[in-house]
Amino acid sequence: MKPTVLLPVALSVAMPFAHAQTEPLPGTAPNAPASLEACAALEQDAQRLACFDTMTGRIARPTQQADLAADVARELQANPAARADVMADPRASNLYRHDAGALLADTVANAGQGSLLDSRWELAKDSKLGIFNLRAYKPVYLLPVFWSSDVNNMPSSPNPDSTVTTPQSLDSLETKFQLSFKTKAVENLFGSNGDIWMGYTQSSRWQTYNGDNSRPFRETNYEPELLAVFRTGYGLPGGWRGRMLGVGINHQSNGRGDPLSRSWNRVMFNVGFDRDDWALMVRPWVRLSDGSEDDNPDIEDYIGRGDMTLTHVRGGHQYSLMARHTLRGGDRSRGALQFDWGFPIHKNFRGHLEVFHGYGESLIDYNHKATYVGLGISLLEWF
């Protein structure tokens, strides 16, 4: 962008309230414009409305405005001539002239503030809420009805010690529930970017209706993980933005002894994108070898080597579609699809529908293909 074009954009986006530098009114939001008169003096409608909202603390700056301001700030950082023009403009405040570098850096660091991924991962500089506070992670739900089209009565594995030889007495209808949370252990590794998160997810399948077999827990999966997350802010076609990049260690196991023991460890990469009320998370992974004692040596050829989850939030409803694949062809081309729908039924919780088809609905069924349908309630969705 040329300096002559960049100048008015920078002044209108990066400094809409620069000239209102007197003390704010009592009870107004921090860093708010000084008065209603200061806001009324702004000529453009969008600026004037944003000024009033900022002064009263009514709403945060829209995500698109934060992205545009960050784009302008990056251009100014890379273009000394344009930056000099902005600082010389009579509409620029003294504060901007004397601390332009810090203001531009802060503007870039707040790209995407208020976006879907920012709301979950505290990516923007001013979105960070500190360490060791519990945060939402994956959906938290209870599905009293969870049905399988093909019950896996004899779980098997290439490891003979991990193969069941006597059929189990299991019902096709059971209960499933999931708990999930995360907390930030380290914040701002590099300036205002880079956080270390610790996450934990537990999902259980409970044979609630199997009274003849004492209603056992058929399978519980435990999944602790450690993830380093970094903010990104690049633009993509169609209005999408690259928001985050993560890398970490993931362990998943069912905590059982042979022949039902299943576990694996992965190095996982998280690449996150969002646009308005859409979010996309892409997660390729590399398995870490368990050596000769591996309970499930071929798990990558069933559960896969990566997944992606597309989420859409609209009118109180939340839809997500997860797809994963082995990234291999021929007989090794396998995977799974899962659709989740959270819908409003009460102010404190939602209805939740889950439909899964493919391999690996749980670790014990990693090489078992079936369709599962669950219905119940959720306390927390993806966003």
Instruction: Cite the active site residues.
Output: 251, 253
Closest CA to 121 of 196, 179, 233, 191: 196
Look at the block and give the residue holding tokens 């308005």: 276
Closest CA to 104 of 10, 190, 193: 10
Residue 351 burial class via C-beta count within 10 angstroms: exposed 0-12, middle 13-18, buried 19 and up:
middle
C-alpha distances in Å from residue 130, one per residue of 136, 189, 381: 15, 13, 22
Closest CA to 197 of 166, 229, 235, 168: 229
Query: Which residues, 6+ apart, have CB-to-CB distance to 194 below 8 Å?
Result: 188, 228, 229, 230
Instruction: Find the Cα–Cα–Cα–Cα dihedral 93, 96, 98, 101, rounded to 10°.
Output: -170
Residue 320 near residue 141, CB atoms below 8 Å: no
Residue 243 near residue 117, CB atoms below 8 Å: yes
Task: For residues 316 and 314, give the distance between their C-alpha atoms in angstroms, rounded to a whole number.
Answer: 6
SS (H, E, C) 197-212: EEEEEEEEEECCCCHH
Residue 247 near residue 226, CB atoms below 8 Å: no
SS (H, E, C) 101-151: HHHHHHHHHCCCCCCHHHHHHCCCHHHCCCCCCEEECCCEEEEEEEEECCC
Which pair of structure tokens corresponds to residue 70? 């960050």
Q: What are phi and psi of 254, to 5 degrees?
A: -110, 5
Residue 377 near residue 348, CB atoms below 8 Å: no
Neighbours of 277 (CB within 10 A): 14
Dihedral sign from CA coordinates of 67, 71, 77, 78: positive
Helix (H, G, I), strand (E, B) or coil at 3: helix
Q: Residue 337 corresponds to which amino acid?
A: L
Give strand ranges (E) for 289-329. 306-314, 317-325
